[in-house]
């Protein structure tokens, strides 16, 4: 992987989170390679390939009612009582057989799915350790929204039989499809709350960050920013002046993470953007880095049970993006038995 060249794989993480094997949707700033984000000025291309509808029915999570919250449990994270079996019939299929075939047919997607499994395991460990739950009101609203989208698609299709439409489009009947949507939204919300809780628990910075080999070009970029020019157009111009350059609006960086820009941001005590400073590039080559601190988030020691209403408002304003998920994965976050963060 490189910092700035190709994205993590030909399929962006946001598409895989939307559709692959019943995972969840996610959008936002993409991160390439070693954790340097390419925002609207970046050059990473997004695939137009549509996510495939998952075929494996997932049981309905335990129901929630009233003002209760949906606690984290195994029903949200696995296929209870299904084991490794994918299909009942004259020809039994196993999950490992599907994985073997996918690795042969589409290696990039296989790697993405493997990354997602690791991500889910780390999210699960973090959520269990900190007693993170999905608010029932959020789950009901998200499920209704997704179901309404399917109903609109049915209306536009001109078909008369909704059950036939669901079977044709998704390979699932309406009841199982709605159950699957609820489970998918529960997973998505769990990820969102877990990542945003971690962000506020340890503190974070949001940065504009750029790296380039050409110091003169980066200094011109810095002077134009100081004079009030817009970031995105200047970044595109810098990419033309120095093809090795990369960067953009980084997703929020947890202060316990290992992103390369954090050390520079902590060392910068001045006002406004930091002028170019020497910094090794993705392959260890000499270069220069520029950054601007957009926001500092102070650590919040409250437990999740007290913090979640504030997180709910934060997520409504600023949903978790793919960049936050990828940073969580690339940081190698784990939850040791003593409860303290460590990086692998």
pLDDT digits (tens, 9 = 90+) for 142-178: 999 999 999 999 999 999 999 999 999 988 899 999 9
The two three-digit tokens of residue 224, written as one number? 């134009």
pLDDT band at 331 (very low <50, low <70, confident <90, very high): low
pLDDT digits (tens, 9 = 90+) for 236-247: 999 998 888 888
Same domain, 199 and 210: no
Report if residue 168 sits inside a domain: yes
Is the pLDDT assigned to residue 337 strictly greater than 50? no
Domain span at 250:
204-297
Residue 66 is given by DSSP the state T
Q: Chain-wide mean pLDDT for the chain? A: 73
Same domain, 222 and 343: no
pLDDT digits (tens, 9 = 90+) for 276-322: 999 988 778 899 999 999 999 999 999 999 999 999 999 999 998 88
Domain boundary among 260, 278, 297: 297
The residue ranking higher by pLDDT, 64 or 275, is: 275
Is the pLDDT assigned to residue 99 strictly greater than 50? yes
Q: What pLDDT does 85 receive?
A: 64
Q: Name the 3-class secondary structure at 60.
A: coil
Q: Name the 3-class secondary structure at 292.
A: strand
Cβ neighbours of residue 48 closer than 8 Å, sequence gap 6 or more: none
Is the pLDDT assigned to residue 47 strictly greater than 60? no
Same domain, 27 and 174: yes
pTM value? Answer: 0.68
Q: What is 170-228 written as a DSSP string? A: HSS-HHHHHHHHHHHHHHHHHHHHHHHHHHHHH-EEEEEEEEES-HHHHHHHHHHHHTT
Distance CA 55, CA 51 (A): 12
CATH of residue 290: 3.10.50
Distance CA 248, CA 40 (A): 7
* CA angle, residues 292, 200, 198, in degrees to nearest 5: 110
């Amino acid at each position: 992987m490189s910092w700035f060249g190709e994205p993590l794989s030909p399929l962006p993480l946001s598409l895989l989170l939307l559709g692959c094997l019943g995972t969840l949707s996610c959008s936002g700033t993409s991160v390439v390679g070693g954790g340097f984000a390419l925002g609207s000025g970046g050059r990473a291309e997004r695939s137009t390939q549509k996510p495939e509808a998952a075929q494996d029915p997932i049981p309905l999570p335990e129901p929630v009612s009233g003002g209760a919250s949906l606690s984290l449990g195994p029903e949200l994270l696995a296929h209870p009582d299904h084991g490794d079996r994918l299909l009942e019939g004259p020809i039994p299929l196993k999950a490992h057989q599907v994985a073997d075939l996918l690795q042969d047919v589409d290696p990039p997607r296989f790697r993405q799915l493997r990354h997602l499994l690791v991500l889910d395991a780390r999210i699960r460990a973090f959520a269990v350790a900190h007693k993170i739950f999905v608010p029932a009101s959020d789950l009901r609203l998200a499920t209704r929204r997704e179901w309404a989208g399917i109903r609109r698609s049915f209306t536009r299709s001109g078909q008369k039989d909704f059950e036939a439409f669901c079977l044709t489009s998704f390979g699932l009947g309406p009841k199982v499809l709605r159950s699957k949507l609820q489970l998918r939204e529960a997973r998505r919300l769990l990820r969102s709350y877990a990542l945003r809780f971690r962000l506020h628990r340890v503190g974070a910075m949001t940065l504009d960050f750029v790296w380039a080999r050409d110091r003169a070009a980066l200094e011109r970029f810095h002077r134009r920013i100081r004079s009030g020019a817009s970031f995105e157009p200047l970044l595109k111009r810098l990419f033309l002046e120095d093809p090795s350059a990369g960067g953009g609006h980084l997703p929020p960086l947890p202060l316990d993470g290992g992103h390369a820009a954090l050390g520079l941001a902590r060392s910068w005590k001045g006002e406004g953007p930091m002028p170019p400073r020497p910094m090794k590039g993705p392959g260890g080559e000499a270069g220069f880095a520029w950054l601007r601190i957009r926001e500092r988030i102070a650590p919040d020691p409250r437990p999740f049970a007290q913090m979640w209403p504030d997180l709910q408002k934060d997520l409504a304003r600023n949903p978790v993006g793919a960049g936050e998920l990828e940073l969580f994965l690339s940081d190698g976050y784990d939850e040791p038995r003593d409860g303290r963060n460590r990086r692998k």
